[in-house]
Structure 1
Amino acid sequence: KRMGCGPLHAACCSVRRRRRRRRRHAPPPKLHPPHLILSSSSAAPNTSLCRLLSAAADPIPSNPSSFAVEEYLVGTCGLTRPQALKASKKLSHLKSPANPDAVLAFLSGLGLSGTDAAAVVAKDPLFLCAKVDKTLVPVVAGLAGLGLSPPEIARLVSVAHYCFRTRPIVSKMRYYLPLFGSFDNFLRALQRSSCLLSSDLGKVIKPNVVFLRECGLSDCDIVKPSVPVSRMLTTNPERVRAMVACAERLGVPRGSGMFRQALQAVAFLNEDKIAAKVDYLKNTFRWSAAEVVIALSKAPMLLRISKDMLQRKSKFLLSEVGLEPMYIAHRPIITCLSLEGRVRPRYYVLKFLKENGLVDRELGFYTAVSTPEKYFVDKYICPHKKAAPHLAEDYATACKGEMPTNFLFR
């Protein structure tokens, strides 16, 4: 009986052994780069997605007991030893490099260099735990559907980090792109305020945008790279309303041309700090309560100038130039201009011209310091090349902060 079954049994075993050997030596499945999804025909997007999902679904078998997270982060991901030591604490649960390998292949397919991928992992170690098929592929497909190119998606990964591995990023980008006007504008804002992608779109971002529009600000004003205003998008809406009320108390109504500057001036300053700066302005420029209101309504950015700089400007304007406090209050732009690079050099040019009878002595100080540079040179310096051949040289030197002792005829 054993003799009759022996040859058949041996043949079956031989077939099974050959099949096992073929499976062991078969090349690992290729991970198709994500950009194939974006470049494939829109007529069959599911086919490309399925190819990527199928490739990512069969990770290379590994020996869990031999996987050392820290060494993997250094040797495979390219992190420095200190970075790897810090990141490994968040990845101690990993028993296999299979998923991290798939994520790195995915990032490479997007066009990220090894250095860029290492930066992503260093900032967000848990990115290596993201599911390529269930999370990253759908996110890339969704962003591509919004019109983002593969290089733009790669740049977004490098800045967004952990927010990129969450599905809501697609709906947020759908809202932000029209608001900011372009992907580049949004990316610049994201680099300044990473909270743009982590903040709640429905409860924080949209209510703030609607309210700021009601205050007369255009979308361009709202998303301008001026940090205080753009940061308001991610701030608690009640606090934003308090900032607007504070700006109005400066005497700048909503919808006025100066309102955005007023809002920028008071943004993220509490009432005590604003009150203290107002008192300082009164004492430093010898202004009455009414005069400080006039000054702030015309130049609210006075609240952002340091006390040391305000002290230096008031000393120069009041003591050296001899201006009256009321004159400055009605022309507060003088206090916002550069003292060393503009106001002081122009004052000495004007003084030199008047003392030497080259201009009308009634020529106003405010006109001289507030006029554009080209106009100032054309009107106050060029006409006097023969009478004062070195005046232009002295003025240029003074504007660099190297004030000559005097402007003299030579």
Structure 2
Amino acid sequence: MYALRPSFSVSSRLNPPSFLRIHPFLYYFFSSSSSSSHTQSSASNAIVVQYLIDTFQLSPARAASIMSCRRGLQSTEKPQSVYKYLSDLGFSDAHIRSAIRLAPQIAFSNIEKTLKPKIEFFQNLGLVGSDLSKFISRHSTLLTVSLEKKLMPSVEILKNILPKDNCNDDLLLVIRRWSDRLMRTPCKRLSININYLQSCGIVDSQLLMLLKRQSSLFGRSESRLKDIVSVVVEIGFSTNTRMFVHGLHAISSVSKVTLKKKVELICSFGITEKECMRMFTSAPVLIRTSIGKLKLGLEFFMNEAKVSKSDIVGSPACLMHAMQGRVLPRYRVLQIVKSKRLMKKHPKFILTLGMSDEDFLDRFVCRFPDNMKDLLVAYRGNSVSAK
């Protein structure tokens, strides 16, 4: 435990005490007053700052900033107690440092009244041992919110809508992914938004999917959430189909401005807005695909591969495949198959993109042993020698 050092006067600024020489910034930060009593207090306060630096590996500036609103604190007793408490729970030094960096205020929390009840709350949910230490190290900000007013009500709401299981696996997964928003979203808003989405037909596994993948949706204002749902319906997604939740996930992931740009881009290739909406409803992930990727795909399929507009509208998933990893290798192979007339009937190129690598190679490479070398070179892009 850090012992209090002898006090030092203002005149000693030019020759700071040895325990501050490593970080002179701290000395000047805490010795700005000409008051002797204030300087004594500042010296003790600086000891706490030094403890934060040494124990939790905070930067001098960060540690000083944390202590700037705790000028009267002159003892390392609280942060030492918190360190020991977490260590006794099995937290490694790395986990403790990570937790403190995310939420430094917990280093000064009352263990019995504040930390212990919240830790026990998470333990009762199934987080124990290394799972607990990993969770807290990454989501320690949850220890700074009210247990009775925030954590318990929010978790209870989630438990009521998630599938029941003894291990709370889904619940814990949602909490891990939603920890930051869990602190900011009022319980009433969370409940209202869940009820509204359920009224739209999004229940059970679909609701769980949204909680896992797009938790921010549940923190939106009720009016904003209804606006998003309206856009999803306008595009053509029906609340009576299972595709509605995928449309909601996609639309909530992009801004109105970005969505408009994507529609304009697709339409610039001769596709009507109505056809564009049909593409979105059959392949919602297309909405989340970057503008650059969409442009590259449309240019290749329509200008290079000469795929018809109707085929692209009918199979929009072709625009989401990796160009270098799947599209170009298969295109090169099929070009050779066609040029050498190895097949009497050639399949539509975009339909082959949905095949697994194994099936594609079996059907268009391995079945032609006399041409296998050339086909493999084309498939691999000349990067690997055929054997």
Query: TM class, shorter-chain normalised?
Result: 0.7 to 0.9
Equivalent position of 2:251 in the other structure: 266
State the shift of 1:103 in Å.
1.7
Equivalent position of 2:154 in the other structure: 172
2:154 aligned partner, one-letter code: K
Structure 2 CA distance for partners of 1:245 and 1:88, relative to 1, 3 Å: same
2:376 aligned partner, one-letter code: E
Distance 2:319 2:305 in 1: 13
Structure 2 CA distance for partners of 1:381 and 1:92, relative to 1, 3 Å: farther
- Is the 8 Å Cα contact of residues 142 and 179 (structure 2) preserved in structure 1? no
Select which of 345, 349, 361 maps to 1:377.
Answer: 361
Distance 1:251 1:81 in 2: 56
- Is the 8 Å Cα contact of residues 74 and 84 (structure 1) preserved in structure 2? yes
1:231 aligned partner, one-letter code: S
Structure 2 CA distance for partners of 1:314 and 1:197, relative to 1, 3 Å: closer
- Is the 8 Å Cα contact of residues 282 and 292 (structure 1) preserved in structure 2? yes
Equivalent position of 1:397 in the other structure: 380
Equivalent position of 2:99 in the other structure: 120
Equivalent position of 1:66 in the other structure: 44
Per mean C-alpha deviation after superposition, the further-off stretch among 340-349 and 223-232 is 223-232
Equivalent position of 2:112 in the other structure: 133
Gaps of 5+ in 1: 1-62
State the shift of 1:189 in Å.
4.7
Superposition TM-score, scaled by structure 2 size: 0.76
State the shift of 1:300 in Å.
2.8
Distance 1:276 1:207 in 2: 32
Distance 1:90 1:156 in 2: 28
- Listed one character per residue, the Cα deviations across residues 72-104 of structure 1 (whole Å, up to 9, x for unaligned) are 212344434344234333443423222222222
Equivalent position of 1:294 in the other structure: 278
Equivalent position of 1:16 in the other structure: none
Distance 2:67 2:170 in 1: 35
Q: Does 1:329 align with 2:313?
A: yes
Superposed, 1:5-404 pairs within 5 Å as 66-67=44-45, 68-165=47-144, 166-167=146-147, 168-176=150-158, 179=162, 189-190=174-175, 192-200=177-185, 202-224=187-209, 229-283=214-268, 285-384=269-368, 386-391=369-374, 393-398=376-381
1:70 aligned partner, one-letter code: V
Distance 1:228 1:148 in 2: 22
Distance 2:65 2:168 in 1: 33
State the shift of 1:256 in Å.
2.1
Structure possessing the higher radius of gyration over alpha carbons: 1
Equivalent position of 1:12 in the other structure: none
Distance 1:394 1:257 in 2: 42
Structure 2 CA distance for partners of 1:229 and 1:119, relative to 1, 3 Å: closer
Structure 2 CA distance for partners of 1:261 and 1:373, relative to 1, 3 Å: farther
1:346 aligned partner, one-letter code: R
State the shift of 1:195 in Å.
2.6
Matched residues, number = 339
- Is the 8 Å Cα contact of residues 229 and 263 (structure 1) preserved in structure 2? no
Distance 1:269 1:241 in 2: 15
- Is the 8 Å Cα contact of residues 159 and 190 (structure 1) preserved in structure 2? no
- Listed one character per residue, the Cα deviations across residues 159-201 of structure 1 (whole Å, up to 9, x for unaligned) are 2323214313244344446738665655555555433430345
1:242 aligned partner, one-letter code: D
Distance 1:137 1:264 in 2: 37
Per mean C-alpha deviation after superposition, the further-off stretch among 210-219 and 340-349 is 210-219
Q: CA RMSD in A?
A: 3.1
Distance 2:188 2:310 in 1: 46
Structure 2 CA distance for partners of 1:296 and 1:365, relative to 1, 3 Å: same
2:189 aligned partner, one-letter code: V
SS at 1:94 equivalent: coil
- Listed one character per residue, the Cα deviations across residues 126-172 of structure 1 (whole Å, up to 9, x for unaligned) are 11221112122222333334444244333332223232143132443
